[in-house]
Amino acid sequence: MAGYQLRLKSLVFAFALFVSGVSVVKAADVSWAELNDAQRQVLNPLASEWDTLRPWQREKMLDIASDYPKMNADKQALVKKRLTNWSRMTPYERENARKRHQQFNALSADKKSELRKKWLEYQQLPESERAKLRAESPDTYTDADLN
Amino acid sequence: MKIDDNKHIDQQASLDANVEDQIARNIVELLDSRAQKLRDEHSLRLAEARSLAIGRLVSQEAQLAASHSIHRSGHTLQWFGGRFGHYFEQHRIFSTLLVVCVMLLTFFAVQQFSVNHQIENSDAFLLASDLPPEAYADKGFTAWLDTN
């Protein structure tokens, strides 16, 4: 009976490993031709450069495509509009953006509104001044954080 | 009439008890007198048998005491544990499957909770946010906010 239990537990464990392993490999290796219609429609702005993206970049973009149907039409339009710029950001910039986005989500509605105004105000600054501010700010993440 | 009957019954019971007591005393006297006349080998065998019986009795009492000391730690839990423990012992396959199912359900529940929690922080929702991704990624904007 103990042998039976051991075999059953091993089987469940092996199955879980197999399922997780297969899903990781599948997500990372898919080419543009292998995408389904819904994924191509969402990721269309990246069509020309998809096959040059690294596997982990493709995986992130596929995550975006899978979350896309959960949004309303306005948000879907924003995603399509911003996708190309997003794919061209460096890992440092993306990780910074994720961290700031989480902080932004935790703010009150008034604070969010204030921050939107501040962003518009910041964009009115001369590019040279914004470049100077960027150059003076240290990177938040190290290489180890991004692996 | 009934009172007389009861008195008669009480007297009879008392008499029976006296007779039994007397018989017991006679037996004890008889055994004592015969014990004096026992041969050494018979005395030795009786002593060994007595010693063996006492040993067994002591062992049983010790086991009973140990069992009681465990039970004292929580009667209700012990009762439940004992019953369910016995049940699971009798249904090993079922209990194994039950444990596996509970583990899988817990795993999927935690995963589902984690997915729901992560959706709002996913890259897609970042792209659809009130601010463009450049606003979040721009270190200069963060520094400018700190100084303003």
Chain A residues in contact with B123 by the CB 8 A cut-off are 60, 63-64, 67, 86, 94, 98
| Cross-chain CB nearest to A82 (options B133, B139, B144) | B133
Residue A56 in any domain: the answer is: yes
- pLDDT at position B62 is 86
For chain A, give the DSSP string.
-HHHHHHHHHHHHHHHHHHHHHHHHHHHS--GGGS-HHHHHHTGGGTTTGGGS-HHHHHHHHHHHHHGGGS-HHHHHHHHHHHHHHHHS-HHHHHHHHHHHHHHHTS-HHHHHHHHHHHHHHHTS-HHHHHHHHHHSPPS--HHHH-
Residue A65 in any domain: the answer is: yes
- pLDDT at position A120 is 93
Structurally, chain A folds into a number of domains equal to 1
Is A110's pLDDT higher than 90?
yes
Residue A75 in any domain: the answer is: yes
Closest chain B residue to the Cα of A67, Cα to Cα: B124
Q: Do A63 and B139 touch (CB under 8 A)?
A: no
ipTM given for this complex: 0.70
Q: What digits encode the pLDDT tens for the residues B33-92?
A: 888 888 888 888 988 998 999 999 888 888 887 765 555 544 555 555 556 666 666 677
Q: Residue A35: which domain range?
A: 23-88
Whether the CB of A53 is below 8 Å from some CB of chain B: the reply is: no
Q: What digits encode the pLDDT tens for the residues A20-61?
A: 554 554 556 788 999 999 999 999 988 888 888 888 888 889
Minimum distance, in Å, between the CA of residue B113 and any CA atom of chain A? 16
For chains A and B, count residue pairs whose Cβ atoms are closer than 8 Å: 124
Residue A140 in any domain: the answer is: no
Residue A30 in any domain: the answer is: yes
Residue A59 in any domain: the answer is: yes
Residue A49 in any domain: the answer is: yes
Residue A36 in any domain: the answer is: yes
Q: Do B133 and A85 touch (CB under 8 A)?
A: yes
Chain A residues in contact with B144 by the CB 8 A cut-off are 122, 125, 130, 133
